[in-house]
Amino acid sequence: MAPPARTLAPVPPRLWRWAWIALDALAAAAVVAAVVLMRPASGWWVWCLAGLLGLPLAVRRWWPVPVLVVVLVTTATALVVGIGVEIVVYVVAVALYPVALSSARAAAWGLAAALGGVLVPGLVDAFTTGLPLVPARENVESFSTTPVTVTGYGTAVVAASWALAWAVRTRQRHASQLTDLRVARAIAEERLRIARDVHDVVGHSLSLITMQAAVANHLGSGREAALRTIEQASRSALDDVRTVLGGLREQDAPGDTAGSPGPVDLDRLVEETRAAGVAVTVDRADLSRVPAGVRTSAYRIVQEALTNVRRHARATRCRVTVAATDDGLSLAVVDDGTPRRSDRPGHGLLGMRERATLHGGTLTVGPEPDGGFAVRATLPFRT
């Protein structure tokens, strides 16, 4: 048996922060060393320029704009003195990156300032006799010698830093937008789930209460039976509302907030429909191997279909079929009534279709060839 795969623990943000600080400090030290080693002459001013060019890079993430300003001023001085553009342009590029990363406006101003800070003194150096003040060492090649090399090299390095910051900033913006969309979708799905559950568990009982109350108004005898049905439906509705509210209070409760119904609940549905004057026959398979989520959706679809039979179909007979296979559940609620025509589907039909789609299944509703109306659904699952 192979050992379980080991997963690497995520790096703490604080460790990442210190890693970037160390990298910036290393870059600052490298700049100081490069300026000192490639200096055209020796003297205390070389060390001052090296420090002003390199050391600000260590704090560029905290004060990006002041660091860029200091680096640009020092760059102009360094180019006039004689430190080659091939060194200072990299310092400017590193200082520009956090400025360009902060916002589009800062990136535009930073790019203009960086190009101006490199190209203007570099071109002045190339065109002016007597500059740089300290000539380069003999047999040392430099990009600072001609206007073409100054312009091309300086523009390429600075633009590369700006482009990298733009790409990272764009990716961060897209990631933030994607997160917002996921949050909005989760909120919308939660609202839809709550609306669907409230409609299913409360609408069914209230529909039964309304019908029985209307019947009781026209009964001389037998009114007590109708009132008992109303009382039972009211208690059931109250229990369902409590179940829904309890599920909403539990943050980790997955799936349907109304719990997982069982065979007893389906029997109660059938009895309520029979009490409304519809003869119901049931052909039900063993649902013990069916996952709870699929079983709940199947119950809600049958519940809504039977509610519509009582309310709209004017039916006298109805057949409920629930069949289970190794890879799915199939439902059928067929009545002999005449459904009321509607130009737009109601919330119940939308809820049934959403529940079927939630499990990758299908829902079909419509009149039967020999009369009547049928609701059929398939709900795939894996055991």
- Asked whether the bond before 132 is cis by omega within 30 degrees of 0, the reply is yes
Per-residue pLDDT tens over the stretch 253-290? 444 545 567 677 788 888 888 877 789 999 988 888 88
- Alpha-carbon gap, residue 240 to 232, rounded angstroms: 12
- Alpha-carbon gap, residue 378 to 201, rounded angstroms: 21
Whether residue 118 contacts residue 88, with contact meaning beta carbons closer than 8 Å, is answered with yes
Least confident of 139-153, 226-240, 320-334: 139-153
- Amino acid letter, residue 323: A
Per-residue pLDDT tens over the stretch 332-365? 999 988 766 655 556 678 888 888 888 889 999 9
- Alpha-carbon gap, residue 338 to 228, rounded angstroms: 29
Residues in Cβ contact with 333 at an 8 Å cutoff, skipping those fewer than 6 apart:
302, 305, 306, 309, 318, 319, 320, 321, 374, 375, 376
- Report in angstroms the alpha-carbon separations of 286 from 39, 290, 295, 304, 321: 88, 9, 11, 21, 12
| Pairing outcome for strands 279-284 and 317-324 | parallel
Cβ neighbours around 335 below 10 Å, total: 29
Alpha-carbon torsion 55, 61, 67, 72, what sign?
positive
For residues 366 and 149, which has the higher predicted lDDT (pLDDT)? 366
pLDDT value for 17: 74
- Amino acid letter, residue 10: P
Whether residue 333 contacts residue 320, with contact meaning beta carbons closer than 8 Å, is answered with yes
Least confident of 175-189, 242-256, 282-296: 242-256
3-state helix, strand, coil in the chain (%, to 5): 65, 10, 25
| Domains recognised in the chain with CATH numbers | 15-182 (no CATH), 260-383 (3.30.565.10)
Q: If phi over 0 gives left and psi between -120 and 50 gives alpha, with beta otherwise, what is residue 290?
A: beta
Residues in Cβ contact with 311 at an 8 Å cutoff, skipping those fewer than 6 apart:
207, 211
- Alpha-carbon gap, residue 377 to 332, rounded angstroms: 7
Q: What percent of the chain has pLDDT over 70?
A: 65
Whether residue 127 contacts residue 137, with contact meaning beta carbons closer than 8 Å, is answered with no
pLDDT value for 6: 56
